[in-house]
Amino acid sequence: MIFPVIASVFLIIAVVCFLNLTPQQITDDINSVISKKPNLRDRARSLRSGKKKKGLGARLNYLQSALKACGKESKFAVACSSALILFAVGAVAAVLINNIFLIPAFSVAFAMIPFIYVKNITSIYERQTKEELETTLSIITTSYVRSDDIVSAVQENLPYIRPPLKDCFTAFIGDALAVSSNIKRAIKKLKAKIDDEIFQEWCDTLIQCQDNREMKDTLQPVVAKLTDVRIVNNELNTMMSAVRTEYYTMVGLVVGNVPLLYVLNKDWFHTLIYETSGKMVLGVCGIVIVITYFFMLKFTKPVEFKR
């Protein structure tokens, strides 16, 4: 059993060396397969509906853009290459324990490891962005209501803006003063740099203020939504942590029952490990764990404001 596996590993290495595959090339190939380039009809439908594209390809594109904003874009190519390698490692591990029904669960679980690491990096960046966004928009809005000039409002508060938002507003000042005097155009470019619904609503309101100065009073209520979302997430954090802990405990109990059966009843353990019916049960349990993990992430993620 071990010799075919070793031969397969060396064959994969030979193919990689022969084709001169690089992490960036593997990443481009994965993106081209998963995310199709939208045609004109898809773009028009997306603009009419106002909904963001969902799916695996959209999620990968989001992770890539988030890493680029963090200055760690190279890690995405490494993550894609590692995921492809670990996908094969998971399949090999299932074959080594002589249970082909675990190949789907092992392959997906192993391939998820690099993206879980990438997600943790982007989560830290997102949390820092949201924390700074509340303070930054508040002081800029206060200055703008007083001075009635968004460029000067950003300029006078620029020393107090911290990363990762400082680069975005510095670029906004450069666009407004050096590139073009069109303030609306500069605000639209600023809006595209931060993926946050409340920030984008603030930018839309700011654009309207350029034509109607009385709209300035509507900026503070928009900024207040950031505080409301933060308070709600803080209140739900303990509850969501308990749900995640309960889920991991249940998964641990399911996995831990396998070696426990060896102590309690060796006949059941033998059936579960060596019989076809037992292997199928393990395969189904593995797939259920992987699927429920995605649902757990979906239902325990922080609350986000949606317009």
The model carries a pTM of 0.75
Indicate the pLDDT class of residue 193, thresholds 50, 70 and 90.
Answer: confident
Give the tokens for residue 225: 């939504």
Comparing 21 with 103, the larger pLDDT belongs to 103
Residue 122: per-residue pLDDT: 80
Per-residue pLDDT at 53: 54
Which of 5-19, 171-185, 279-293 is most confident?
279-293
307 close to 197: Cβ distance less than 8 angstroms: yes
The candidate with the shortest Cα–Cα distance to 233, out of 142, 122, 120, 126, is 126
Mean pLDDT, all residues of the chain? 81
Is residue 201 scored above 80 in pLDDT?
A: yes
Fill in the DSSP letter of residue 158: G
Cα separation, 135 vs 152, whole angstroms: 17
Among residues of the chain, what percentage have pLDDT more than 70?
79
pLDDT interval class at 281 (50, 70, 90): very high
Residue 162 CA to residue 165 CA, distance in Å, equals: 6
Above 60 in pLDDT, residue 115?
A: yes
Mean pLDDT across 114-137: 84
Give one DSSP letter per residue of 215-269, joined into a string.
GGGGHHHHHHHHHHHHHHHHHHHHHHHHHHHHHHHHHHHHHHHHHHHHHH-HHHH
Separation of alpha carbons 250 and 293, rounded Å: 11
- The residue type found at 74 is S
